[in-house]
Amino acid sequence: MSDRGDRKGSPEDPGRGGGPAAEMDPERRRLLQGLFAGGCAACLAGMGTLQSALAQDASVGPSLLKASRGELPLHPARWWKDAGELRVECGLCPKKCRVADVERGACGVRENRGGKYYTRVYGRPCSLHIDPIEKKPLNHVLPGTLSFSLATPGCNFECKFCQNWEIAQARPEQVPTFDLSAEQVALLASQYSTPTISCTYTEPVVYSEYVYDIAAAAKKSGIRTLIISNGFILEEPLRDLMEVLGAVKVDLKAYTEKFYRDLCGGELKPVLETLRRLRKHGTWTEIVVLIVPTLNDGEEEIRGLARFVRGDLGPEVPVHFTRFHPQYRIQNLPRTPVATLERAREIAMAEGLQFVYLGNVPGHPGNNTWCPRCQSLLIRRIGMSTEENRLKQGKCPKCGQAIPGIWS
């Protein structure tokens, strides 16, 4: 899941969210219930009020859409194979779980029933928000726009610093969810006039079937689907997803296998392979690195990471170094010193990276986009808001340098 600002309420903006169980006033509830009535087909005169309410609260209450706990429908999983004796082998992520009958994989959301594999979270989001694109963060994707954002429960990592652990580390039966088809998600994004849909907050890899169908439906309306992911996915499902996705933000947890093993329950190498495959395919990709004091902030590690990005992906790939805040199972460490983030940025830029950002440090010059040729200020941001965008058709207005990204 995302380790930066893309959460249900962040340290720099604690009022945004409150999780899927957040309460809302009766008028907002009435508007939302009206919206979702009739398969989300209603077009309300009060849509502007609804959009404003969602933008302020960034949360949809769990009692809407017939929210439920407990037994959830079975939907056929897409990537798996028969392993004999009623066992299956999951083909979604590098853990390749071998799952016995009536058992689940490590993510807790994919289940074997009689030798056939199913997902328990297809069409069952637990959180719906409208967020600024900068919250993802995707600084080179349509700055200043809003993104219709959703999550289902579950994750294939167990990060000890997880921001949204209440839903990412929960089984789907433990979290209120509601029924929303892929086509309804695409329709909502169209009704809200959001140019993108973000699958985020938890780990989109574990609900890839839902992601794929959302992206395919949204693409028909010219809406891009984005995923905010840990990148821990096998080649076949990634290849399928790349055909329909608009952009990907990958949380590169660290640049050591030890960090991945001890703090995430995962591996580094498959994530690096994902990044290479995204680059080769041409899918727009940005990278976030949450800098955790004493655990992944060494200068040689930062230098090695920067050299990997420059050499294997390209110097124009944006990298965000983000400030850690104590939470979940790591509360004995301090917030990342701003000086540590600044040093990481200096190292990465010295190694040739052109777009290096600082996250969770509102107002810092490292939030902004600068022209790599003439150093002119191109996009000015404060926190999760784009305050000024000087780009002209994706180019620096001063020297004409083309800036990579999705600008229109």
Q: How does residue 26 score in pLDDT terms, banded at 50, 70 and 90?
A: very low
pLDDT of residue 47: 30
**22 pLDDT band (50/70/90 cuts)?**
very low
What letter represents residue 274's amino acid? T
Phi, psi values for residue 284, rounded to 5°: -60, 130
Averaged pLDDT of the chain: 87
What pLDDT does residue 70 have?
A: 61
Q: What is the pLDDT of residue 328?
A: 97
Q: What is the pLDDT of residue 68?
A: 59
Q: Is the pLDDT of residue 52 over 70?
A: no
Q: What is the pLDDT of residue 71?
A: 72
Q: Is 350 buried (19+), middle (13-18) or exposed (0-12) by CB count in 10 A?
A: exposed
Cis? peptide before 137, omega within 30° of 0 = yes
What value does the mean pLDDT take over residues 129-138?
Answer: 97
- Alpha-carbon gap, residue 175 to 301, rounded angstroms: 37
Res 46 pLDDT > 60: no
Q: Each residue of 218-257: pLDDT tens digit?
A: 999 999 999 999 999 999 999 999 999 999 999 999 999 9
Task: Measure the CA–CA gap between 226 and 3, rounded to whole angstroms.
Answer: 16
Residue 8: per-residue pLDDT: 57
What one-character DSSP code corresponds to residue 203? -
User: What is the reported pTM?
Assistant: 0.86
Strand order in the sheet with 356-359: 127-132, 146-151, 196-199, 224-229, 247-251, 284-291, 319-323, 356-359
pLDDT at 393 over 80: yes
| pLDDT number for residue 72 | 86
Q: What is the mean pLDDT of residues 6-24?
A: 36
Q: Does domain 127-305+324-333 have CATH number 3.40.50.2300?
A: no
- What mean pLDDT comes out for the span 380-406? 97
Domain residue spans of the chain: 75-119, 127-305+324-333
Which residue type does 200 have? T
String of DSSP letters for 141-192: BSTT-EEEEEE-S--S---TT-SSHHHHTS-GGGS-B----HHHHHHHHHHH
Provide the pLDDT for residue 10: 35
- Higher pLDDT: 40 or 395? It is 395
The mean-pLDDT minimum among 53-62, 208-217, 296-305, 379-388 falls in: 53-62
Confidence of residue 211 (pLDDT cuts 50, 70, 90): very high
pLDDT for 27: 43
For residue range 257-287, what is the model confidence (pLDDT) as tens digits? Answer: 999 999 999 999 999 999 999 999 999 999 9
The tokens for 352 are 């040739």
Tell me if residue 318 falls in helix, strand or coil: coil
Q: Note the Cα 309 to chain centre separation in Å.
A: 20
Q: Which residue has the higher pLDDT, 40 or 111?
A: 111
Give the pLDDT band (50/70/90) at residue 153. very high
In this prediction, residue 178 has a pLDDT band, given cuts at 50, 70 and 90, of confident
Task: Indicate whether 300 pLDDT > 80.
Answer: yes
Asked if 337 and 293 touch (Cβ cutoff 8 Å), the reply is yes
The answer, yes or no, to whether residue 366 has pLDDT greater than 90, is yes
- pLDDT for the residue 54: 42
**What per-residue confidence (pLDDT) applies to 69?**
67
Judged against a pLDDT cut of 90, whether residue 15 lies above it is answered with no
Is beta strand 319-323 parallel, antiparallel or unpaired with respect to 356-359?
Answer: parallel
